[in-house]
Every structure is written in structure tokens, then in C-alpha cells.
Amino acid sequence: MFKPTLFLFCALLLFSQTFENDTLIVVSKNSSQGFENEYILFIPKGLNASKIQHILVEVNNTGKAVDDIEVHKVSAISLAKKSSIGNNISTELKLPFLVPIFPRSAKNWKIYTHALDRDAIHTNIKGIRRLDLQLIAMFQDAKKQLKRLNVETENKMLLNGFSASGSFTNRFTMLHPEYVKAAASGGLNGIIILPLKKRNSAILNYPLGINNISEITGKPFQKEVYSSVPQMIYMGTLDDNDAVIYDDAYDDDEREAVYKGIAKKMQPDRWQLCQEIYKEHGFNVIFKTYENIGHGTTGAINLEIILFFLKHIKN
């Protein structure tokens, strides 16, 4: 059911096929439908309800661990309505935009929910267990919510993310490629999940590789399906934000596996090697390395991302 907020703008005019104002809806959590957290559905001004739409998804990334869910909610609302690459994509391409309100706890600080790390996948804590499956459930629910507004939607999502949410995007796409139409992820600490079980005798379990992926998804790595998903993965040459060195993102055994099986130096070593491995496997990925860019994007980069998604929603 829809839950109105102070940020809920004017809704769809009943006799128009186009939304005449930005509309922001907070959808209540629904455990019976598979999601234990609220999510935001942003509908941009100009969205054409007479066309079948693609739902854009970007996971919230508060940037800090806080036990007050309202902090994450305010951050997610800001992301949905103004301060994100996702909002740029949504408003420019007139796409419905889904942003989950996933918590990131200070008490359980090692569970990096917004990056979908190993701890987030394996935790049984109510509310944050299997956020990947919660996101799928939210996506299915958003399709129903939009249908009530006479907006029909495609069965696969567009997935975008940067930094922690970029890692979430990359990892989710590897786990569930059948749900993803196209994905863009940036600021990834020079590391992406690899289609390998081991390298240099280092075992590459999730989120480093696919050694135990069947234990998580209940099926082997879907290489052909993953290969069919168009992706844009990017970094800036001046980006020195290396999550591998931090204990909330990686445990000691994971860090050792990264250094032994991939590379210790983030740039250019680790970043270049990951690109080479993806290219060797023939994945449908565009890699971009932007000169003189740190841990962030520019208007020009955002435009490239918008054009990337535009190309693939037309296909």
C-alpha cells in the first residue's frame, strides 16, 4: 500500500497519459511479500503512462553506519528525488525509479548492507537478511504499484550504483542476471566479482568470485545469462578509495585472498586485471577509466551513463 509523506508530490492526473509533476511515494515494508524494509518509488514529471516502462533501481548508500533507520530514510529520499546519478537517469529518460531503504547498522557494523558484502548475504538478522532477495521482491511489488497507476513495466530492471551501491550492483547482477536488463556501476575500489572459483591457489568465494555461488542462489553461475547483460563499469584514475583495507567491507581471509589471488595494489594492478579477466570471458561490458577523476563523477560521466541506459532500453 502507498504511504504518503511530506515529499509526496501531485499524483497522476486521471485523464492524462503523462505525469505532470514529480511524484514520490514511500511504500511500506511487507514481509508477506518478501521485503522487510520500506522502499521509495519516484515517478518523474513527463513519464508517459502509455508506454511500457523500465524500472530503474539504485540501492541507497548512506555513507555511514547508523542505527536510526530515519537517517537512512532521509538519505534514500534525497537520493531518489535529487542527489544521485539514478535521479539524473530517471528524470532525463522519464523512468520510474526504485530506491530501497536498507539499514546499515552501527551495532552490526561489519555487515556492509549497502555493498551486499559476504556478511550481508549470510546474516540471519531480521530486516537485513538476504537484501538481494528483498530487492527482487520490492521490484515485483513496484510493478504492481505502477500498474495501479496504469503504468505497465518490463520484467527486468535497470540497475545503477556508485561506490558501495556500485558493488551491490555488480554483485547482484552476478547473483541474479535474469532480473537485470542493463547495469552501470562505478567507484568499485578496483575490484569486481570475478567469474572464477580460484586464482593463484586463492579460493574466490562470494563476493570475490563464484566458488560458492550455488550455495547462495541454489544454482550454478549462469554464465550465458550474465554474458547477455550489458554493463558499464568505471573508475577514475585518481580514485584512491580502497574498501579492501577496511574491516567493515572485507574480513582478513577475504583481504588475503584479494592480495594473493588478484592484486594488492588497487590501481592500476587490481583494476586492470579485473578488466582483463572479464574480457577473456567475453562478457558484454564496457570498461571506462576516466583521467583526473577521483571517487566521484562529473556531468559528462553522468551523461555517458544516461546514454548507456538509453541505448539498451531501445533494444
> In order of start, what are the domains of the chain with their CATH numbers?
2-314 (3.40.50.1820)
Residues of the chain with pLDDT under 70: 1-16, 315
pLDDT at 16: 55
- Residue matched to cell numbers 558484502: 117
Pairing of strands 202-203, 157-162: unpaired
In 10 A of CB 197, how many CB atoms? 14
Q: Which of 188, 207, 186, 187 is nearest to 196 (CA)?
A: 207
Report CA-CA distances (Å) from 258 to 212, 248, 250, 267, 288. Answer: 16, 15, 10, 14, 22
How far, in Å, CA of 264 to CA of 244, rounded?
Answer: 9
pLDDT at 8: 41
Q: Could you report the per-residue pLDDT of 112-146, keeping only the tens digit for each?
A: 999 999 999 999 999 999 999 999 999 999 999 99
How far, in Å, CA of 225 to CA of 222, rounded?
Answer: 5
In 10 A of CB 79, how many CB atoms? 24
Let me know: does 289 contact 271? Beta carbons within 8 Å: yes
How far, in Å, CA of 271 to CA of 276, rounded?
Answer: 9
pTM (2 decimals)? Answer: 0.93
Let me know: does 199 contact 261? Beta carbons within 8 Å: yes
How far, in Å, CA of 141 to CA of 133, rounded?
Answer: 12
> Helix, strand or coil for residue 175?
helix
How far, in Å, CA of 233 to CA of 189, rounded?
Answer: 11
